Structure 1
Amino acid sequence: MALVTLDETINISFSVKDRHVSAKWYADMLGFETIYHADEAGWSELQTNTAGVTIGLGEHTKPAPGNCVPVFGTADLDSARQKLEQADVKFDGETDVVDGMVKTATFYDPDGNALMLAQDLTGGGS
């Protein structure tokens, strides 16, 4: 049995210079549809052609090339984080909260690959 329970969503997150330009590229090249642009949070989200899988675009002035962070949805991030920390999983700082939108926490696998947990705070699902 798994240590934590994940839902049926995965967001694959990329660091980009301009979310709007990147969203257009993903639409034109791969047919992904923009779900929303959250300009106040520096975040855009796109629907892929796979149910439950979205692309997240986090805007940064100097994005790290080649980075990609899978984001796994969970209904109770605090509980999941606590269980993982008790199993000596390392997290990158505190849990981030964008009120009314999302709660996230970045953690690392044994090889230092970044992964993230996310809890939907919109009330619309995971």
Structure 2
Amino acid sequence: MSHISLNETITIAFSVKDRHASAEWYQSMLGFAVIYHADEAGWSELQTNTTGVTIGLGEHTKPAPGNCVPVFGTDDLDTARHTLEQANVKFDGETDFVEGMVKTATFYDPDGNALMLAEDLTGGS
């Protein structure tokens, strides 16, 4: 089987209670810079000091402790998902779509660890 095509971006996504407070913590403790807060989507993103690696903060009222999902960037999520599904990789429901922002799909490795694919729809990468 051939592997799927990923680009050079990885977002490490965390569930947090308060994105703005968490962003401040990552800024002051680790020196990361806020890229943006998408309040309407409940999402914030920070640039780490590693090129192509960002921290994503998804706001939830009761985040699961230790919840961390690596999000791998792809330029064609539909094709990547189809390829993985053909190899019997389990996905968590349908692909999520936020108009003009992102398309995402959560899937699982053989041990049940959650991973995600994301296609940037903003026109940037």
* TM-score relative to the length of structure 1: 0.98
Structure 2 equivalent of residue 112 of structure 1: 112
Partners of 1:109 and 1:19 in 2: CA distance: 28
SS at match of 1:14: strand
Letter in 2 for 1:49: N
Structure 2 equivalent of residue 25 of structure 1: 25
Structure 2 equivalent of residue 100 of structure 1: 100
SS at match of 2:106: strand
Percent identical: 82
Partners of 2:2 and 2:107 in 1: CA distance: 16
Deviations 1:67-121 (A, max 9, x none): 1000000000000000000000000000000000000000000000000000000
Mapping for residues 61-100 of structure 1, pairs under 5 Å: 61-100=61-100
Shift in Å, 1:2: 4.4
Deviations 1:13-51 (A, max 9, x none): 000000000000000000000000000000000000000
Letter in 1 for 2:61: T
RMSD, matched Cα: 0.8
Partners of 2:99 and 2:33 in 1: CA distance: 25
Structure 1 equivalent of residue 40 of structure 2: 40
| Structure 1 residue ranges without an equivalent (≥5) | none
| Structure 2 residue ranges without an equivalent (≥5) | none
Letter in 2 for 1:8: E
Shift in Å, 1:124: 1.1
